[in-house]
Amino acid sequence: MDTAAAPAASSGVDFSTPLTILYHDADLVAVYKPAGWLVHRSAIARHEKRFVLQRLRDQIGQHVWPVHRLDQGTCGLLVFALNKESCQQLARAFAEQRVQKTYLALVRGWLPQQVEVDYALRPEDSAPDAPPQSAQTTLRCLATLDWPQSYDPRHPSTRASLVLAQPHTGRRHQIRRHLKHVAHPILGDATHGKGALNRWWAQRLGGQRLWLHAHALQLRHPRTGEALALTADWHALPQVPEVQQWQHMLQLPGWQTVAPWPGSCSVI
């Protein structure tokens, strides 16, 4: 098997370029969030200078309201409201779990074909005696990779899986924590993964990054009630370095398809 590495995953994002807008009307706007950006300013990250909210506000020349969050290391689809009424409607839809969210992740090992995770999570910034909150995620294995080099001397090769994750609740770091719970942490996850394994894969995939991509949202339009299917379609984002990294990684020899995956994230 050819083990040529992917392009460097820790570089390539030009933070001076405009954000890529995926959908825009009078009530909401969806953008592609690059990895490494915060959604908005935060007191716990005073040193950071890359914020989607402020950049988008300046880019489109109007105020925007965040209605959900993505971790700093996560790339992909992010939605903002463009007026207070839409903000209230969209925020309520996310809070009431009426938004279907789809993510892609590259994880350690071979995940079973489908796993339903029902594992309560205690808020990470809460007191030790805080009660855990219910959390459910559906995990589907889309493809498996058998890398011919060995990370663990007990095994002749090293395995990874491409996983489609659909969280049904909105707990912080839910997908990352649930994948850790089932012993398939996301590669590059410095908090919930294994540092030595992350570094081993980074050498082979071209650099360190969190391999988690917010790919699609299905929700109702906040004003009309029309069904909206918003997608960070890779075919429309060939210029995005992270999309190029995903594409290159999925073209490496050795992948075996387990289940069909969305055409919007197929290899170009």
Q: Where are the alpha helices (DSSP H) in 49-194?
A: 52-60, 84-95, 174-181
**217 lies in which domain range?**
20-124+131-258
Q: How many Cβ atoms are within 10 Å of 159's Cβ, its own excluded?
A: 17
Task: Residue 237: give its domain's CATH number.
Answer: 3.30.2350.10
Residue 14 lies in a domain: no
The sign of the CA dihedral 107, 44, 28, 94 is positive
On whether the CB atoms of residues 6 and 205 are closer than 8 A, the answer is yes
Residue 248 lies in a domain: yes
pTM of the prediction?
0.91
Q: Could you give the CA distance from residue 175 to residue 74 in angstroms, rounded to a whole number?
A: 11
Which residues of the chain form beta strands (DSSP E)? 20-24, 28-33, 65-66, 75-81, 100-108, 114-118, 136-147, 158-167, 212-220, 227-231, 255-257
Residue 42 lies in a domain: yes
Q: What is the pLDDT along the chain (268 residues), one digit of tens a residue?
A: 344 554 445 444 455 689 999 999 999 999 999 998 999 766 555 565 678 999 999 999 999 999 999 999 999 999 999 999 999 999 999 999 999 999 999 999 999 999 999 999 998 777 777 899 999 999 999 999 999 999 999 999 999 999 999 999 999 999 999 999 999 999 999 999 999 999 999 999 988 999 999 999 999 999 999 999 999 999 999 989 999 999 999 999 999 999 998 888 877 5
Structural domain tally of the chain?
Answer: 1
Q: Could you give the CA distance from residue 197 to residue 193 in angstroms, rounded to a whole number?
A: 8
For residue 243, give the H/E element and its range. helix 241-250
Report which of 75, 79, 100, 104 is spatially closest to residue 27, judged by C-alpha positions: 79
How far, in Å, are 66, 188, 190 from residue 199 at the CA level? 33, 8, 10
Residue 244 lies in a domain: yes
On whether the CB atoms of residues 137 and 249 are closer than 8 A, the answer is no
Residue 1 lies in a domain: no
Q: Could you give the CA distance from residue 114 to residue 93 in angstroms, rounded to a whole number?
A: 26
Q: How many residues does the chain have?
A: 268
DSSP code per residue over 174-231: HHHHHHHHTT-PBTT-TTTS-HHHHHHHHHHHTS----EEEEEEEEE-TTT--EEEEE
Residue 268 lies in a domain: no
| Active-site annotation holder among 2, 25, 58, 71 | 71
Residue 4 lies in a domain: no
Residue 263 lies in a domain: no
Is 71 designated active site? yes
